[in-house]
Amino acid sequence: MSLFSKQNMEALKTPLGMNNPVTVQVLGICSALAVTAQLKPAIVMGLSVTIIVAMANVIISLLRNTIPNRIRIIVQLVVVAALVTIVSEILKAFAYDVSVELSVYIGLIITNCILMGRLEAFAMANGPWPSFLDGIGNGLGYAKILVIVAFLRELLGSGCLFGYQVIPQWCYEHGYINNGLMLMPPAALIIVGCIIWYQRARHTELQEEQN
């Protein structure tokens, strides 16, 4: 089978759109609400999850025939926990500010449903290369939603992007006020809801049949 066969590309691409882990499977919502008040931590979080899902998928896929079925969840957890610890240490070493901002949420990637979901649903049944693509796809699908949400929240909530003020000062002088609600987690929930609404309105095949 070729490296970029149709099936492999699908594993990479569908999580970005029609099978997005956040908007279609509604997984990983907790961290999507917590780390999206600003763009920078959201991007770092998205990349961290992407790397961890991809690596964990590859490792579990390599081990999949030797893992006894009854303890597979523990094995998966150990792999994920090891990877999360490595990423967390790297962030602390090279991007200390961001790791402080993200605080516990890097550690909590272990509990991110997207990870366990992909390991159980994909890596346990597929080879390393498709698993790698699947991990990259799901990680980026997650990161994509995080970036959209963080973009809107940072722009409307603090008038900035990446910490730089983008809403001109004269707006504030004429009575514009930043929307404080955008800095609170409920705003992220509303924005994610709007993205889901938009996606399901455009792709009617995502809608459940009405009974």
Partner 1 sequence: MGLRQLVDKIKPNFEKGGKLHAFRSVFGGFETFLFVPNHTAKSGSNIHDCFDSKRMMIMVCLALVPALLFGMYNVGYQHYLAAGMLEAATFMQVFGYGFLAVLPKIIVSYLVGLGIEFTVAQWKGEEIHEGFLVSGLIIPMIVPVGTPLWIIAVATAFAVIFAKEIYGGTGMNIFNVALVTRAFIFFAYPSVISGDAVWVADQAILGLGADIDGYTAATALGVAATSGAAPAWDMNMVWGLIPGSIGETSVVAIGLGALILLGTGVASWKTMLSVFVGGGLMAWVFNLCGSADNAVAMMPWYQHLALGGFCFGAVFMATDPVTSCRTECGKYIYGFLIGVVAIIIRVLNPGYPEGMMLAILLMNLFAPLIDYYVYQSNVSKRAKRAANSK
Is residue 182 close enough to count as binding partner 1 by CB under 8 A?
yes
Task: Report the residue number, 87 or 150, with the smaller CB distance to partner 1.
Answer: 150
Site stretch for partner 1 (CB under 8 A), options 33-41, 51-59, 84-92, 181-189: 181-189
Which residues ranging from 31 to 50 are in contact with partner 1 (CB under 8 A)?
A: none
Site stretch for partner 1 (CB under 8 A), options 5-13, 72-80, 110-118, 182-190: 182-190
Q: How far is the CB of 107 from partner 1 (least distance, A)?
A: 29
Is residue 184 close enough to count as binding partner 1 by CB under 8 A?
yes
Sequence-distant (≥ 6) Cβ neighbours of residue 72 within 8 angstroms: 124
Q: How far is the CB of 175 from partner 1 (least distance, A)?
A: 6
Site stretch for partner 1 (CB under 8 A), options 26-34, 69-77, 80-88, 175-183: 175-183
The amino acid occupying position 66 is T
Map tokens 């605080």 to a residue.
Answer: 103
Closest CA to 32 of 160, 172, 193: 193
Site stretch for partner 1 (CB under 8 A), options 3-11, 50-58, 102-110, 180-188: 180-188
Closest CA to 179 of 170, 187, 169, 168: 187
Q: Would you list the DSSP string of 150-194?
A: HHHHHHHHHSEETTEE-S-HHHHHTT----GGGGSHHHHHHHHHH
What pairs with residue 165 in β-bridges?
160
Is residue 125 close enough to count as binding partner 1 by CB under 8 A?
no
Is residue 177 close enough to count as binding partner 1 by CB under 8 A?
yes
User: For residues 4 and 168, what is the distance between their CA atoms, to the nearest angstrom?
Assistant: 46
